[in-house]
Amino acid sequence: MNQRIDIMPVDDDRNRQAREAARQRVSWPVNLTPASVGYRSEGHALVLGNERDVRRAARALHDRGLPPPALLFTEPMVDGETHQEDEALLGDTAVMTSQRLSRSQARSLEIEGYLGHFSVRLAGEDDTLDLARALANREHFDLVLDLGETPLLALELPPPGYVALAWPDPQRDEQLEALAGLVGEFDKPRYFQIDHGLCAHSASGYTGCTRCLEVCPADAVKSHQGRIDAWIEIDPFRCHGVGSCSSACPTGAIQFRLPETARQQETLLAWLAAYRDAGGTAPVVRFVEADDLATESDAAGHVLDIPLEELGAAGHDQWLTALAGGAAEVRIQCRPGMPGRLTAFIDDQLAQAHALLNALGHSPSRVSRLTAGDAVARDALPGEAPLEGAPLVLTGSDKRERLDQVLDHLTRCGTPDGQRHAMPTGAAYGGLAVDGEACTLCLSCVSNCPTPALAAGDDRPLLSFREADCVQCGLCAEACPEDAITLVPGFLADAARGERRAQHEEAAFPCIRCGKPFATASTVATLKAKLADHPYFAGDALARLEMCEDCRVKDVWQAMARDPESQLKV
């Protein structure tokens, strides 16, 4: 149970020694040779925006060794200005092509791609102009410098090779130098892997979970529509490795690779165990970006740092794992200037963690936010002792199973009230209600459920549900032809959440010929009502709906033998 403490004597030297011992015994997981993606750039750039600024920027890039850029004037010069001096400064070797656009044309510009592979198109009423071919006689541009008042790619994390710049920007020269340096061949890690078999995004033409689409600040996650189903794809060339898509994914279909989520959890628990074994007391786990660690002073001895490439690589499941593993508190250190979508994601994850802790009878203050540079808050003593009980051991094979083990541990250590608690909108926690009067046990919900939450009976018509497996994707409700399923969002703070319970059950309907159970009475009644006017089931043939599949085929053949012409007319 929670144990409130006002004063905690701390031997900081002992805690510091315990922390160092934990680090030496267990190394933090790092992919030393992750799969990578490659870029190839020859430095052919497109510069667009105000004519004066475009010409000056083109000259600056050319002076830094780039080939003559292509110029696209999307905004006219101010009256009375001249660009003759700029043209002279470009020199005879800088033979550049240019294109002037009207305001309406500028609004039709489309940019796609990444370093070494940018497509820039001007969409017209009748056709589309490929500006790489028109201005540079190339398949693609390698670089794009956008000097427009409103960037064409309004992204928090634009793709590599695209720079949006205001000409008076104090960092202008630094950014131009960096852009000019993007010539050659470059590699970066493929930060993620996707298991489409676990994805809850789409089934049978219905759309379910979209959480990963909403949290990527680079807009690298897309839903692609196939002939029937859609699927999630992540563009590895545009991905910046923020990791929020992986943390937001409720099923573990998207796995972050630096490091993998499961290995990150296992190492976190191993560090906490080693810290305790070395005599440390009441550790505070801090999730922090590695770049922040390199610029700050050492933390107090009771602070156990979890270095991340990106803060989004750990969500509330990781934070709660730390509490269940023996941490007194968890602190998430945010840095100034984080992308807005990442900030919103961290806020949502904090809200979910607080709601779950409150539902299970723990203080929400065990998980809090830090601001980079606030050493006082970083080193503050925890206001709570670690949770009592045996240390957490994770044996689950997937993300949801491990999360349920963490929540079960927090349930045993807490005081759950057995009620359903509201969660932030879109949280992957909740149950469902089945209208027994409408449900025909067609089991289309089961076939479309991406997790083991819904299941059919082994030997009788039955629909069962286990709430702990439900990620609230809504595919079951979308697929139900009778609209018999309603989602019930919210976290159930009760052991019943992990139990499988029958939602609807009926007696089996026996075949009127052989007696074999093959459907439910409600299914047969529904089919008879819907197909009563169909010519194939006219007259005595309606009884075929009360037959199993074998007897139904036999009856058709027997009818054809008696009267072939009547069957052919149908």
Dist CA 389 CA 520 (whole Å): 48
For residue 215, give Cα distances in angstroms to 218, 246, 252, 513. 9, 10, 15, 57
Question: Which residue in 137, 170, 143 sits closest to 62, CA to CA?
Answer: 143
Instruction: Point out the domain boundary residue: 188, 212, 235.
Output: 188
Examine residue 513 and state whether it is found in any structural domain, yes or no.
Answer: no
Examine residue 512 and state whether it is found in any structural domain, yes or no.
Answer: no
CATH number for the domain spanning 71: value is: 3.50.50
User: What pLDDT, on a 0 to 100 scale, did the predictor assign at position 34?
Assistant: 62
User: What pLDDT, on a 0 to 100 scale, did the predictor assign at position 198?
Assistant: 94
User: What pLDDT, on a 0 to 100 scale, did the predictor assign at position 91?
Assistant: 45
84: exposed, middle or buried (C-beta count within 10 Å: 0-12, 13-18, 19+)? exposed
Q: Are 285 and 331 within 8 A, CB to CB? A: yes
270 with 405, same domain: the answer is: yes
Total domains in the chain come to 5
Examine residue 177 and state whether it is found in any structural domain, yes or no.
Answer: yes
Q: Side chain identity at 212, as an amino acid letter?
A: C
Q: Are 42 and 184 within 8 A, CB to CB? A: no
Examine residue 510 and state whether it is found in any structural domain, yes or no.
Answer: no
**Which stretch of DSSP H or E encloses residue 184?**
strand 184-189
The torsion angle over the Cα atoms of residues 232, 235, 241 and 243, rounded to 10 degrees, is -10
263 with 378, same domain: the answer is: yes
Name, in order, each residue with C-beta under 8 angstroms of 40's C-beta and a sequence gap of 6 or more.
116, 184, 185, 186
User: What pLDDT, on a 0 to 100 scale, did the predictor assign at position 490?
Assistant: 98
291 with 244, same domain: the answer is: no
Classify 374 as helix, strand or coil. coil
235 with 103, same domain: the answer is: no
Dist CA 69 CA 58 (whole Å): 6
Instruction: Point out the domain boundary residue: 413, 442, 465.
Output: 413
- The one-digit pLDDT tens for each residue of the chain (570 residues) are 344 344 444 577 778 887 787 777 777 665 555 678 999 999 999 999 988 899 999 999 999 999 999 999 987 765 555 555 555 544 443 457 888 877 777 778 899 999 999 999 988 777 888 999 999 999 999 999 999 988 999 899 999 999 999 888 888 999 999 999 999 999 998 999 999 999 999 999 999 999 999 999 999 999 999 888 899 999 999 999 999 999 999 999 999 876 778 888 999 999 999 999 999 989 999 999 999 998 899 999 999 999 998 999 999 999 999 999 999 999 999 999 999 999 999 999 999 999 999 999 999 999 999 999 999 999 999 999 999 888 888 988 899 999 999 999 999 999 999 999 999 999 999 999 999 989 989 899 999 999 999 999 887 889 999 999 999 999 999 999 999 999 999 999 999 999 999 999 988 889 999 998 888 888 888 888 888 888 878 778 888 899 998 998 998 888 888 776 655 554
389 with 362, same domain: the answer is: yes
305 with 354, same domain: the answer is: yes
303 with 401, same domain: the answer is: yes
Examine residue 458 and state whether it is found in any structural domain, yes or no.
Answer: yes
Q: How many CB atoms lie within 10 A of CB 256?
A: 26
CATH number for the domain spanning 234: value is: 3.30.70.20
281 with 178, same domain: the answer is: no
Question: Which residue in 245, 404, 387, 242 sits closest to 317, CA to CA?
Answer: 404
Examine residue 312 and state whether it is found in any structural domain, yes or no.
Answer: yes
Examine residue 496 and state whether it is found in any structural domain, yes or no.
Answer: yes
181 with 198, same domain: the answer is: no
Query: Which residue has tokens 């500006």?
Result: 131
Q: How many CB atoms lie within 10 A of CB 228?
A: 10
User: What pLDDT, on a 0 to 100 scale, did the predictor assign at position 167?
Assistant: 83
CATH number for the domain spanning 490: value is: 3.30.70.3270
280 with 333, same domain: the answer is: yes
User: What pLDDT, on a 0 to 100 scale, did the predictor assign at position 100?
Assistant: 81
63 with 170, same domain: the answer is: yes
122 with 252, same domain: the answer is: no
Pairing of strands 462-466, 485-489: unpaired
User: What pLDDT, on a 0 to 100 scale, did the predictor assign at position 3?
Assistant: 41
Instruction: Point out the domain boundary residue: 353, 379, 413.
Output: 413
**Domain limits for position 144:** 39-188
Q: Are 220 and 239 within 8 A, CB to CB? A: yes
Examine residue 75 and state whether it is found in any structural domain, yes or no.
Answer: yes
